[in-house]
């Protein structure tokens, strides 16, 4: 005897009809009748007698079982509520920082799957520029963070994946005919990038100074959609990352994506050196290491930046 059987019996008893009971579950009348007959066989009892027009007449045995079933299910439902409350009271929270773009690259379902697998854990997510993630992880504001290379030596990091940094170029730009975009090609071009606070932006700026290259103008936006639109409208060229190429939102025949020198975006999961990880934090790290679907390489510890 299990709770579903008792629920089906109660409905049949109250509605005096397998058809009426089935409509409320929903279940076929045969399904409800089968559950009731199973109870009858188990208990050695006759619970209903056939009445006119398919109606059910409960027997004295059904009357007794009804009182029992209502009490059992009332206690069971209360137990279920109590267990949920206990679980919520003991639910642990992990504060997670994500470098901008990591949320999209991981996929929103990543977090749904993790919390479904670990119902007593909750992740508070915050997506901010790369350098801010590093600062906040080092200060202890985040428990765990998804960071970008070069990784801070103040962190222990397991690299999760690498993806090429590419450049969107409008087909009307002669640069679109080249096999790749080099730093020197930025000379006198308008360049769209995520801007200050991003390690890729800082590296591009440093290389421009090193090689004496001067872009005509820098357009900054943390939203890849606006960088793509900027290029699509022929306003300049713009950085992007490999997994975005070919996505419907970033697909237009007027725009091509070219490799950008040997730039690579590397993303890892990090925590402070020497931190004694809580079980909940370790579970998130282990899950990330084995469930990042866009990984181009196996997750591995990083011993140097």
* Domain containing residue 47: CATH number: 1.10.10.10
Q: Residues 29, 40: one domain?
A: yes
Q: Residues 136, 279: one domain?
A: yes
Q: Residues 39, 60: one domain?
A: yes
Given this model, what pLDDT does residue 246 score? 61
Q: Residues 83, 102: one domain?
A: no
Does the model's pTM come out above 0.85? no
Given this model, what pLDDT does residue 87 score? 66
Q: Residues 168, 250: one domain?
A: yes
- Of 71, 89, 107, the residue that ends a domain is 89
Q: Residues 137, 273: one domain?
A: yes
Q: Residues 134, 217: one domain?
A: no
Sequence-separated (6 or more) residues with CB below 8 Å from residue 220? 192, 193, 194, 195, 196, 201
Q: Return d(Cα 219, Cα 27) in angstroms, integer.
A: 60
Residues of the chain short of pLDDT 70, as ranges, are 87-90, 242-249, 293-305
Q: Return d(Cα 58, Cα 282) in angstroms, integer.
A: 56
Task: Provide the number of structural domains found in the chain.
Answer: 3
Q: Residues 148, 294: one domain?
A: yes
Three-state DSSP class for 190? strand
**26 cis-preceded (ω within 30 degrees of 0):** yes
- Total number of residues shown for the chain: 305
CB 44 within 8 A of CB 36: no
Helix or strand run (H / E) with residue 84: helix 60-89
Q: Which residues form the domain of 219?
A: 162-265
Q: Residues 105, 249: one domain?
A: no
Q: Residues 98, 83: one domain?
A: no
- Of 89, 115, 141, the residue that ends a domain is 89
Question: Which of these, 265, 53, 28, 44, lies nearest to 159 by C-alpha position?
Answer: 265
Q: Residues 81, 144: one domain?
A: no
- Identify the CATH number of the domain in which residue 113 sits: 3.40.190.10
Partners of residue 146 on adjacent β-strands: 98, 269
Dihedral through CA 268, CA 270, CA 274, CA 280, nearest 10? Answer: -120
DSSP secondary structure code for residue 177 in this structure:
G
Question: Which of these, 6, 78, 80, lies nearest to 36 by C-alpha position?
Answer: 6
Per-residue model confidence as pLDDT tens digits over 208-239: 999 999 999 888 887 788 889 999 999 999 98
- Of 66, 89, 112, the residue that ends a domain is 89
CB 100 within 8 A of CB 221: no
**73 cis-preceded (ω within 30 degrees of 0):** no
Per-residue model confidence as pLDDT tens digits over 139-171: 999 999 999 999 999 999 999 888 888 899 999
Q: Residues 22, 80: one domain?
A: yes
């Amino acid at each position: 005897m299990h709770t579903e059987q008792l629920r089906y019996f109660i409905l049949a008893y109250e509605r005096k009809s397998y058809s009426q009971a089935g409509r409320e579950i929903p279940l076929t009348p045969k399904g409800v009748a089968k559950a009731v007959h199973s109870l009858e066989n188990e208990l050695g009892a006759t619970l209903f007698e056939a009445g006119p027009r398919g109606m059910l007449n409960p027997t004295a045995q059904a009357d007794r079982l009804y009182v029992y079933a209502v009490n059992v299910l009332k206690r069971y439902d209360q137990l279920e509520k109590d267990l949920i409350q206990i679980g919520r009271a003991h639910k642990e929270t992990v504060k997670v920082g994500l470098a901008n773009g990591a949320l999209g690259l991981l996929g929103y379902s990543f977090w749904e799957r993790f919390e479904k697998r670990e119902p007593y854990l909750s992740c508070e997510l915050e997506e901010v520029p790369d350098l801010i993630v590093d600062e906040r992880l080092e200060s202890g504001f985040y428990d765990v963070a998804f960071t970008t290379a070069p990784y801070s030596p103040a962190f222990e990091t397991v690299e999760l994946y690498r993806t090429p940094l590419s450049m969107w170029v409008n087909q009307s730009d002669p640069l679109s005919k080249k096999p790749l975009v080099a730093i020197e090609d930025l000379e006198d071009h308008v360049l769209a990038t995520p801007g200050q606070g991003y390690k890729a932006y800082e590296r591009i700026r440093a290389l421009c100074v090193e090689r004496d290259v001067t872009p005509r103008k820098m357009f900054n936006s943390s939203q890849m959609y606006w960088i793509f639109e900027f290029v699509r409208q022929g306003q300049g060229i713009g950085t992007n990352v490999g997994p975005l190429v070919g996505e419907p939102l970033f697909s237009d025949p007027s725009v091509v994506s070219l490799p950008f020198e040997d730039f690579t975006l590397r993303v890892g999961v990090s925590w402070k050196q020497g931190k004694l990880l809580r079980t909940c934090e370790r579970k998130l790290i282990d899950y990330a290491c084995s469930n990042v679907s866009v990984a181009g390489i196996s997750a591995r510890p990083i011993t140097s930046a």
